[in-house]
Structure 1
Amino acid sequence: MVKQEYGKSQVYFVGGGIASLAGAAYLVRDCDFPGQNIHIIEEMKILGGSNDGAGDEEHGYVIRGGRMLNDETYENLWELLMTIPSPDHPGKSVREEITEFDNANPTHSNARLVNRQGEVVDVLSMGFDMADRLAMGKLIVTPEEKFGKARINDWFGPHFFATNFWYMWATTFAFQPWHSAVEFKRYMIRFMHEFPRIQTLEGVTRTPYNQYDSIILPLHKYLESYGVDFAMKCTVTDLQFKEGDSITVTQMNISQEGEGSVIPVHEGDLVIVTNGSMTESSSLGSMTAAPKMNGKGSSWKLWDRISAKKTGLGNPSSFDDHVNESKWESFTVTFQDSVFFDLMEKFSRNRAGTGALVTFKDSSWLMSIVLAFQPHFRNQPDHVKVFWGYGLYPDNVGDFVKKKMCDCTGEEIMAELLYHLHFEEHKDAIMVTANCIPCMMPYITSQFMPRLGSDRPKVVPEGSTNLAFIGQFCEIPDDVVFTEEYSVRAARIAVYTLLGIDKPIAPINQHQYDVRTLLAGLVTSFR
């Protein structure tokens, strides 16, 4: 396909997350594709997918998941954002805006782990013994094809999971002991340069606001300026394929406002699908109600259907049929005053926005919280303060509130948090304006589930003429899921491959071949 052939060709993106937005941006920026022929189909009423951030002072704010950015490993994300105009600072890009903000508010955690006594733990030492170091070295050098569906706890002994390193690494990236050893290996290599400073998280790059306001909104505005079509509250329920061995989509089945219809896919049209979703089926609770556990949603059902029709489209069952191992619960707390923030800043010795995750290592829920720079939302009044937290073990009974986290109201989650902080004497002053909204996410770490190499489809499957996959559940060798970069890189690969664009894709930084990085990692392992 060359430029003069675009004419009536249409590109359909299934899903309105960052992968689809990035893909549309590459089409208009690098391919001169007409914006009005690009269609982003999203079942929710808002774009952004897992990069969300919504709410107001009256009803409370919600961020389902916290997204960590990194300056040295998000090669394609930063290149893209360098070309997206900032809506707040004319003449500046979103990348420049984020860099200036981050330089003014550098991250350096002074309270990464907290023990049962409410004391900040000295985490300079990783806590490894020789068996841990040997297992880590073996993990890094073993080829992926040797792992199969091995889990992290198949690779490491019990001592490893009690080290400072595990508590910090696991809560930074949301790993569980039963998650994929291959994904853990990839993270150890991809973020090897962060290993020596994992206790301070200095490598974290912050955005001025939550990721919806700081990244999704500018991308949306950029695409709107090119006339990109956004079909909201519209669900793609199935794809039909041409008979034969090739993979050619001929029709999309959609549902909108309860009415089913069909979009024909003509020769020259492309279909780019976000298969699976980390935050699909999430449920919100309130100060007086626990969130519900929802079942499988439309993006998983779509992947289930189409993978049964054609080989090479992956195996969604490895990811979407293990909810008890992929779920955890987050919570967003809105205050009408700064009482809690003042106490936390004194306790952590970090101004809000300069610390990182504060993890309560002895918490039965393995609970962590983080105080972002305020305001964290564009519409947030000056007197309002918002923070986010999560628990990796929602089925465990609390240490103070004797209930499973998943059964707790927002008020009970706050009570458990104040217990771990030993802030009980300030409880009344804190709780009087607190609005804690819990969020259950059944599939939030489904991308980390043990898998075979064929369980994730290639970005452009073998034999595909017009179908590509983007997001967190396609296969990109050597890169790591649960990152913005993975979605953006997939989108760039999909667009360039399907349209035959001969332009470079930013390569993965190979930190594991840098002698200084290797030496720093070795020294760190003996701290």
Structure 2
Amino acid sequence: MKNEYGNRQVYFVGGGIASLAGAAYLVRDCDFPGEHIHIIEEMNILGGSNDGAGNPDQGYIIRGGRMLNDEAYENLWELLASIPSIDRPGLSVRQEIIDFDHANPTHSNARLINRDGEVEDVLSMGFDMADRLAMGKLIITPEDTLGKLRISDWFGPHFFKTNFWYMWATTFAFQPWHSAVEFKRYMLRFFHEFPRIQTLEGVTRTPFNQYDSIILPLQKYLEPFGVDFTLKCTVTDLDFKEGDGITVQRMHVRRNGDEDIIGIHEGDLVIVTNGSMTEGADIGSMSSAPKLNGKGSSWKLWENIAVKKPLLGNPSSFNDHVDESKWESFTVTFQDSVFFDLMEKFTRNRAGTGALVTFKDSSWFMSVVLAFQPHFRGQPEHVNVFWGYGLYPDNVGDYVKKRMCDCTGEEIMQELIGHLHFQEHQEAIMATANCIPCMMPYITAQFMPRLNSDRPKVVPDGSTNLAFISQFCEIPDDVVFTEEYSVRAARIAVYTLLGVNRPIEPIHQYQYDVRTLFSSFVTSFR
């Protein structure tokens, strides 16, 4: 069957989960020759935003953590069911994650912490009747009617002081100025999570960080097929065939400082990750704050091609609002268990079972999460790693009188210790702490208010060989900032461009399930 493709080549721009998933669909479902699949990545490692790096001595770093959902990530789970586990021969990655999740179920006992360092009772969502009516109306209002409205345009001030907002906003990283359409999509997509948002029982975790648990197995699966991973190579522009329609003819790349051109021949495909939520990320240290960087290659590539052809989207809706799309994360590595022991006692959750702990009165709107240990492959037994983030990095801290974005890792730890009221243990906690902060200017760019036309379709109308697979393409009804969005986009792109007549896992429509509707209605009055 492979002969039917002749010398056709497929070029993926970007080495994140979407490109790896697309390559897997090509070899698994299309019998496409692996040596004709090229994944071009600017960094020296695959994985894109699914990262996990470092070591116990210099410290580990994860820019962000992905919370998976057992019921709503339809295509991700279908794909991972066919990817072999690295650690457990005979098992799929999907089964490996299920087994791990069943052994370490999530049930948060300390979801919100108040300014006195006390665990809040969050069974009540805290809604008043105006909040309930606004929520109900939002759910039934068509997207076209909402347009570029912000969440704060729809809900009154009271809504943003409810337990629900504190929990929902930090679970998914929403800000009041983000898109009302995206917020509505999240409410519909995770309708089944609303009644248990206070415990986050619906969260599914991977045995390690997502790079080690998902990206590496995907890479190992593709390698025997001969898939070409071209690292440290940047795609800077695409040239199109003149006239109507969208046909890529040339790809401009830069390797080792040298410019080059890759010819795109008839039958070849170009599948692009347009834009990046982690582009421009900068890493600080215990003694230095991270910088705020600007646009990099993936944004510039999208800008370059969007002006050449209609229907390729409008990147400025997403990448020209850094002050509204940035926040700062931090990864902390300890050489002992002092902090973890204190946190497990305080939260009444064993590490890996608690989900986010949010300090709702924090000026930085800070949250932390203690993963199951080890969180990295090869992590020594005595080492412990946790992750946190602040949604308001421009605000001055409550204990450290500096903006979060100006703080060193040491100062971020001091602020956290203050909110936990762990000051009597500060010296012991800080003795081996290595806090590495990370500023991400575009981390929630995909939530910015936008029109549907601002995001190109996965396969734009009139395209013969171009598709988009980022968080900035348009998939009706699905939610960005998820692994599922990337994998679904990749599957749509591959099947559509190759004319494959295979089903794509449908989006669960929980809003039409009577039991879920009733449970959510009751929850809104708790």
- After TM superposition, the score normalised by the length of structure 2 is 1.00
Distance in 2, Cα, partners of 1:437 & 1:39: 33
Indicate the residue corresponding to 1:525 in structure 2: 524
Q: Secondary structure at the match of 2:453?
A: coil
Indicate the residue corresponding to 1:441 in structure 2: 440
The letter of the residue matching 1:513 is Y
State how 1:403-482 maps to structure 2 within 5 Å: 403-482=402-481
State how 1:272-291 maps to structure 2 within 5 Å: 272-291=271-290
User: Is the 8 Å Cα contact of residues 9 and 37 (structure 2) preserved in structure 1?
Assistant: yes
The letter of the residue matching 1:287 is M
Distance in 1, Cα, partners of 2:94 & 2:352: 18
Distance in 1, Cα, partners of 2:452 & 2:199: 34
The letter of the residue matching 1:445 is T
Q: Secondary structure at the match of 2:454?
A: coil
State how 1:143-222 maps to structure 2 within 5 Å: 143-222=142-221
Indicate the residue corresponding to 1:351 in structure 2: 350
The letter of the residue matching 2:419 is H
Distance in 2, Cα, partners of 1:45 & 1:387: 25
The letter of the residue matching 2:142 is P
The letter of the residue matching 1:224 is E
Q: CA deviation at 1:5?
A: 2.9
Distance in 2, Cα, partners of 1:511 & 1:53: 33
Indicate the residue corresponding to 1:55 in structure 2: 54
Q: CA deviation at 1:193?
A: 0.1
Indicate the residue corresponding to 1:102 in structure 2: 101
The letter of the residue matching 1:381 is P
The letter of the residue matching 2:31 is D
What is the CA deviation profile of residues 343-381 of structure 1, one whole-angstrom value per residue up to 9, with x for unaligned ones?
000000000001010000000000000000000000210
Distance in 2, Cα, partners of 1:438 & 1:421: 19
The letter of the residue matching 1:422 is H
The letter of the residue matching 2:189 is R
The letter of the residue matching 1:305 is N
Distance in 2, Cα, partners of 1:328 & 1:338: 28
Does residue 26 of structure 1 match 2:25? yes
User: Is the 8 Å Cα contact of residues 59 and 434 (structure 2) preserved in structure 1?
Assistant: yes
Q: CA deviation at 1:225?
A: 1.3
What is the CA deviation profile of residues 286-340 of structure 1, one whole-angstrom value per residue up to 9, with x for unaligned ones?
0000000111000000000000000000000000000000000000000000000
Distance in 2, Cα, partners of 1:177 & 1:297: 27
Q: Secondary structure at the match of 1:454?
A: helix
The letter of the residue matching 1:167 is Y
- After TM superposition, the score normalised by the length of structure 1 is 0.99
Distance in 1, Cα, partners of 2:430 & 2:506: 48
The letter of the residue matching 2:150 is R
What is the CA deviation profile of residues 470-518 of structure 1, one whole-angstrom value per residue up to 9, with x for unaligned ones?
0200000000000000000000000000000000000000100000000
User: Is the 8 Å Cα contact of residues 2 and 33 (structure 2) preserved in structure 1?
Assistant: no
Distance in 1, Cα, partners of 2:91 & 2:4: 34
Indicate the residue corresponding to 1:313 in structure 2: 312
Distance in 1, Cα, partners of 2:430 & 2:86: 36
The letter of the residue matching 1:369 is V
Q: CA deviation at 1:4?
A: 3.9
Indicate the residue corresponding to 2:374 in structure 1: 375
Gaps (5+ residues) in structure 2? none
Indicate the residue corresponding to 1:510 in structure 2: 509
Q: Secondary structure at the match of 1:272?
A: strand
Indicate the residue corresponding to 2:4 in structure 1: 5
Distance in 1, Cα, partners of 2:65 & 2:403: 22
Q: Secondary structure at the match of 2:11?
A: strand
Distance in 2, Cα, partners of 1:502 & 1:3: 17
The letter of the residue matching 1:215 is I
What is the CA deviation profile of residues 99-119 of structure 1, one whole-angstrom value per residue up to 9, with x for unaligned ones?
000000000000000000000
Distance in 2, Cα, partners of 1:98 & 1:171: 24
Distance in 2, Cα, partners of 1:177 & 1:279: 21
Indicate the residue corresponding to 1:396 in structure 2: 395
Distance in 2, Cα, partners of 1:257 & 1:429: 46
Q: Report the count of equivalent residues.
A: 526
Indicate the residue corresponding to 1:69 in structure 2: 68
Q: Secondary structure at the match of 1:292?
A: coil
Indicate the residue corresponding to 1:360 in structure 2: 359
The letter of the residue matching 1:446 is A
Distance in 1, Cα, partners of 2:71 & 2:470: 20
The letter of the residue matching 1:302 is L
**Identity among equivalent pairs (%):** 81
Q: CA deviation at 1:3?
A: 5.3
Indicate the residue corresponding to 2:328 in structure 1: 329
Distance in 1, Cα, partners of 2:276 & 2:389: 19
Aligned CA RMSD, in angstroms, stands at 0.6
Indicate the residue corresponding to 1:126 in structure 2: 125
Q: Secondary structure at the match of 2:102?
A: helix
Indicate the residue corresponding to 2:257 in structure 1: 258
